[in-house]
Structure 1
Amino acid sequence: MRLLHTSDWHVGRTFHGTDLLADQDTVLAHLAELVERLSVDVVVVAGDVYDRAVPSAEAVRVATTALRRLREAGAELVITPGNHDSAARLGAFADFAEAGGLHLRTTIDAIDRPVLLEDAHGPVAFYGIPYLEPDPARLALGVPEARGHTGVLTEAMRRVREDLATRGPGVRSVVLAHAFVTGGVGSESERTIAVGGVEQVPGCVFDGMDYVALGHLHGPQRLADYLRYSGSPLAYSFSETTRKSVWVVDLDDRGLAGVDRVELPVPRPLATLRGRLDELLEDPEHDDLHECYLSVTLTDPVRPVEAMRRLRARFPHAVHLDWEPEGGAGAALRYSEAVRGRTDLEIAENFLTDCRGAEPTERERALLVEALEAAGRADVDPEEVLR
């Protein structure tokens, strides 16, 4: 049996305010092409199909189109929810969907009820463990003494092993789980699932399975031959520099036979730039970044006016802008220290200076005086200020 392991689609997510639905549709359509080209039997999606518990109608359309394409390409689908999904919404009509080859495992009481699929060597049991929020999950699992993610996942896997033992010899096992397993490396785009400061679970929790398809971390990672993260199909932060991919997993009569990494297309690459605004706008070396999602750090000593508008005239997909003046902006003060003994006008002037790296002009100071007078501030003496 051949599996395709993917996760963390996050359909509906934006990238620094930019809609990604078209990019998501493109890369998810490629998964269906892989299914057909590589003769994949089963696609497993280990959580975070959507980016929000209540996805938009457009996000639902993109996700359901992707699932339809995968099914039409010939694969059965096994899906479990992540921490971004609403398990109840994702699992709606699960019993009806199963008849069409879409197997949704979204509830705690179904953890030990596998999807059984057959190949030439017999059955393969797919166990879907939905994302388990520790406090409600330990009560639902009947283990009130369990603590944190490790406690509830340990109980979930106990149930999986107990059921697998009843299946008899020769039944191979695949587990889908959405968790932060020790040894994995996170990125800037995952939502924390820490409870009491602890979010990681040891990989030994999953010992004894033929393959464990993990979701939650957005970079492709191998923690053990049988224990892997596929990562997200698109980059959702500028920290995600590794090429996106999926795992193609082969099972033979004895279990795991091999795993291959297959890279995915990049609808729009990411890039970063650093330097003074005028130099970035004029340097011909940056011409190849025209079609990239761009993060720019400006080093001008004074914050340029309308910097993003000017950048987008040359780089239409610039989405993120920082300002770090050369030489640094000095040590930050606590608010109480920064305003102690200063008038409202001085505070306003210092705010402008800190934000822009240059003192306000006389015209700007006059406007500040007018604004403070209009607000009825008594500590402003216009004659003194403008003298």
Structure 2
Amino acid sequence: MKLLHLSDLHIGKRVYEFSMLEDQRYILDEILGIVDQERPDGVLLAGDIYDKTVPSGEAVQVLDGFLTSLADRGIPVFLISGNHDSPERIAFGAEIMSGRRVYVSPVYDGTGRSIVMEDQYGPVTIWLLPFLKPAAVRHVFPDQEIGTYEEAVRTAVDHLDVDTGMRNVLVAHQFVTGAVRCESEEVSVGGLDQVGVSVFAPFDYVALGHIHGPQHVGRETVRYCGTPLKYSFSEASQEKSVTVVELFEKGNIKISQIPLKPLRDMRKLRGTYMEVASREFYREMNTEDYVQITLTDEEDIPEGIQKLRAVYPNLMRLEYDNRRTREDREMEAGDHEKEKTPMELFEEFYELQNNQPMNHEQKELAEYMIQKILSGEAGA
């Protein structure tokens, strides 16, 4: 049985205020071309289908077109919600869609949806487990002690009726301990969202979403396929791909990757203004790519971003790396530290490390932990 593993489409995403919808339509069309070549028995979509819990009308149309194209080809689709999605909105119409073999994870109710497929080696059960938080699992199993993400996912898996003598595939959206993150991913303070790979022991293949770089964790068959597009400059050096999983008899699995070529790549450029603006510099380059330019000039270039966009129309970010900016960074790191509260210092550190501010939930947790430490309760 051949399955295509996709995740983290983030349909409707904006990067530095640039809409990615055109790029997303293009890459989904390319994926449909791969489907036509590979003729898989199913497509796994492991969460973060949309970038926002309330997606735009355009984003909904893009997903509708993609799912319809797969259904028209007779390819079953197995789709779950991720942390960026609304489980209720993703699950809307699930029963109707299953009539065209588009199987969607319901809002978590303690059971988990499973679909049995058949091939020459026998049945393969595909399990759909949407992104889980501890509170969602505690609500279903109030008598069990569930305080962490790992306890939540382990409890959910333990309550699935998995026959380990048969072949089982899990589609899930969690952060597995040891996975390497990128800047564009939502980060939990202190790694509280981590789940140990041993939780997934009952499954022959685990199709994961949530991490944007393709990689396996713990064993080859617990895999993140990564995003189909680059969504931050920390991903600039990655090669995006579609993961192809082939299941033969129990214990025999082949995994391969098919590279994806985007409409516009994402790249980092560096040099003086005169260097990066010279025809010799960009002659061999697609100047329509999304770029981050770091200028090494000692003086700022007046209206530099506007001037450079005459050459690089999709310039997303302009930075300087010179004596002044390095001194500024050193001063910012040490200046007024005594005047700032521990929470302010922690927020600055977090934003420096992750290139994004803390969200409300993260701030509340950090404030709670800081108060415990200051009061001496943490060591009690």
The SS at the match of 1:314 is coil
Q: CA deviation at 1:171?
A: 3.2
Identify if the C-alpha distance between structure 1 residues 152 and 212 changes in structure 2 by more than 3 Å, giving closer, same or farther. Answer: same
Q: Specify the alignment match of 1:92 in structure 2.
A: 92
Residue among 238, 258, 264 paired with 1:242: 238
**145-154 or 80-89: bigger deviation:** 145-154
Deviation readout 1:112-152 (Å, 9 max, x if unpaired):
33112222333221111111122333223435521221010
C-alpha deviation, 1:286, in angstroms:
2.2
In 1, distance between residues paired with 2:92 and 2:80?
12
Give the structure with higher Rg (CA).
Answer: 1
Question: In the TM superposition, what is the alpha-carbon distance from 1:266 to its structure 2 partner?
Answer: 2.0
Q: Is 1:173 equivalent to 2:168 in the alignment?
A: yes
User: What is the CA–CA distance in structure 2 between the aligned matches of 1:326 and 1:95, rounded to whole Å?
Assistant: 61
Q: Match of 1:65? A: 65
Which one-letter code corresponds to 2:47 in the other structure? G
1:44 paired to 2:41 = no
- What do the CA deviations read for 1:262-294 (whole angstroms, capped 9, x no partner)? 111222112212222233212512223312211
Matching of residue 284 in structure 1 with residue 280 in structure 2: yes
**How far is 1:35 from its partner?**
1.8
Partner of 1:142: 142
Structure 1 distance, partners of 2:259, 2:333, is 47
Aligned residues: 333
- Verify the 8 A CA contact 2:309 2:315 in the aligned structure 1: yes
Compute the TM-score of the two structures, normalised by the length of structure 2.
Answer: 0.82
State the one-letter code of the partner of 1:286: Y
Structure 2: gaps of 5 or more residues: 340-380
> Judging changes above 3 Å, is the alpha-carbon distance between structure 1 residues 334 and 100 closer, same or farther for their aligned structure 2 residues?
closer
TM-fit CA distance, 1:185: 0.8
Pick one of 327, 346, 349 that aligns with 1:329. 327
* CA distance in structure 2 between the partners assigned to 1:336 and 1:263 by the alignment: 46
* AA partner of residue 234 (structure 2): S
Equivalent of 2:264 in 252, 262, 268: 268
CA distance in 2, matches of 1:222, 1:196: 22
Alpha-carbon shift at residue 104 of structure 1 (Å):
0.3
Secondary structure of 1:109's aligned partner:
coil
Question: Which amino acid is the alignment partner of residue 269 of structure 1?
Answer: D
1:360-387 CA-to-partner distances (Å, cap 9, x unmatched) read xxxxxxxxxxxxxxxxxxxxxxxxxxxx
After superposition, the C-alpha distances for 1:291-350 in whole angstroms (9 at most, x for unaligned) are 221101122223222111000011111111112333633432589859x9xxxxxxxxxx
Per the TM alignment, residue 170 of structure 1 is displaced from its structure 2 partner at its CA by 5.5
**8 A contact 1:219–1:230 mirrored in 2:** yes
- Segments of structure 1 that go 5 or more residues without pairing to the other structure are 341-387
Distance, in Å, in 2 between the alignment partners of 1:143 and 1:51 is 34
Distance 1:334 1:33, change over 3 A: closer
Q: CA deviation at 1:226?
A: 1.5
Aligned counterparts, 1:151-162, within 5 A: 151-160=151-160
String of CA shifts for 1:5-46, please: whole Å, max 9, x gaps.
110000000121111111111111122222221120110101
Contact 1:40 1:74 (8 Å CA) reproduced: no
Superposed counterparts of 1:1-387, under 5 Å: 1-109=1-109, 111-142=111-142, 144-160=144-160, 163-165=161-163, 171-192=166-187, 194=188, 197-223=191-217, 224-240=219-235, 241-282=237-278, 284-289=280-285, 290-326=287-323, 328-330=326-328, 331-333=330-332, 337=336
Q: Following the alignment from structure 2 to structure 1, what is the Cα–Cα distance between the partners of residues 54 and 281?
A: 43
Contact 1:44 1:79 in 2 (8 A): yes
The alpha carbon displacement at 1:72 in A equals: 2.1
User: For residue 71 of structure 1, what is the amino acid of its counterpart?
Assistant: A
RMSD: 2.2
Equivalents in 1 of 2:248, 2:165: separation in Å? 11
Distance 1:306 1:73, change over 3 A: same
Between the aligned residues of both structures, percent identity stands at: 35
Counterpart secondary structure, 1:225: strand
Task: Quote the residue 1:352 is aligned against.
Answer: none
Aligned-partner Cα distance in 2 for 1:317–1:333: 30
Taking the aligned partners of 2:60 and 2:52, their CA distance within structure 1 comes to 11
SS of equivalent residue, structure 2 residue 8: coil
Cα separation, 2, equivalents of 1:53 and 1:155: 26
* Distance of 2:159 and 2:279 partners within structure 1: 61
